[in-house]
Amino acid sequence: MLSMAVTGVLALSVHVVMLQVLHVPYPGAALRTKLPEILNGAVMIWAATWVYDVLRTRWTGRSALFCFATLFVLLAGLNETLRAAFMSGYCSTQAPVRWLIGLLASLRPLGAYAVAAAFAAGLARFRSKQARLCGSAVAAVLSAYLIAPVLGAADAVIRTYAEQWMPAGGWCVLPYGPDVLIPAYLTFIEPVLLCFVCAALVWDRLPAGALWRTAGFVLLILALKRHVLASFLYAIYAPGPALTALASAGQFSLEAAALGWLTAVSWRWARGGASGRAAKKERSLSPPTI
């Protein structure tokens, strides 16, 4: 638990320091093209397909539906869906309906991650890497041009009908004080917990060697959180200065990389300690040699 707490505090602090101390802006500008969305989506689905494969291999007695549900929870949790819903409600000025605001805010991303998990489960049926790569690209295009607009339209309809109970507005404004930072850090347990769950599930399937295994896990977390290419693509396609855009999106990419790296280090340390204790216990139970 201590390693999880340290991991969460240090990882989220990357974003907090860049936002509040270095005054790096949020990446709020609309991009001029859907290409970044497609590329990041394809990488996420490719990585999710590999994770689904691992789940099916580990849990041969489990159903495909159970593995799909696990993958969906991993995607939704790593991408902070419930945390974002809570913070949306918490920061609302409309106390009577603040949690309805958070609930409605979570429906769109939950739908998107369910679709992504479904695509991954379907693509896992193909053994060919080329087929999976092409399938990930096609799935990302469908998500960008078909699924996302449908989910966006449904979200807009819900919000239109709910506007009479949910006027716009919020009290969480920069610079954030303890009343915002404390719940922000506490709710960051969602991606931290799911990151450790991911490590427990896939660690033995990552490349051998401490360095390569750690690097592979960091890359996997970046992919599942859609941050492998996000910073550079945002810098290219966002309006305004490229360096500002790079730093703007980069704060979240660095946070994701820190989360993956700290989780990998903690998991290696925990496994090493457990292996050492098991070996020590085995030696203590062994009969003396003459």
Per-residue pLDDT band at 290 (split at 50, 70, 90): very low
- Per DSSP, 143 falls in state I
**Exposed/middle/buried for 163, CB within 10 Å: 0-12, 13-18, 19+?**
exposed
Q: What is the pLDDT of residue 155?
A: 85
Question: How is the chain split among helix, strand and coil, in percent rounded to 5?
Answer: 80, 0, 20
pLDDT digits (tens, 9 = 90+) for 157-171: 877 776 666 656 678
Hey, where are the domains in the chain?
2-273
Task: Report, as an integer, the average pLDDT of 27-34.
Answer: 77
Q: What is the pLDDT of residue 61?
A: 87
Would the pLDDT of 13 be above 90? yes
Look at residues 248, 194, 202 and name the one whose alpha carbon lies nearest to residue 225: 194
Reported pTM: 0.90
Token pair for 32: 């001029």
pLDDT digits (tens, 9 = 90+) for 218-229: 999 999 999 999
Look at residues 4, 57, 15 and name the one whose alpha carbon lies nearest to residue 265: 4
Better pLDDT: 290 or 136: 136
Cα gap 48→3, rounded to integer Å: 26
Look at residues 109, 108, 45 and name the one whose alpha carbon lies nearest to residue 77: 109
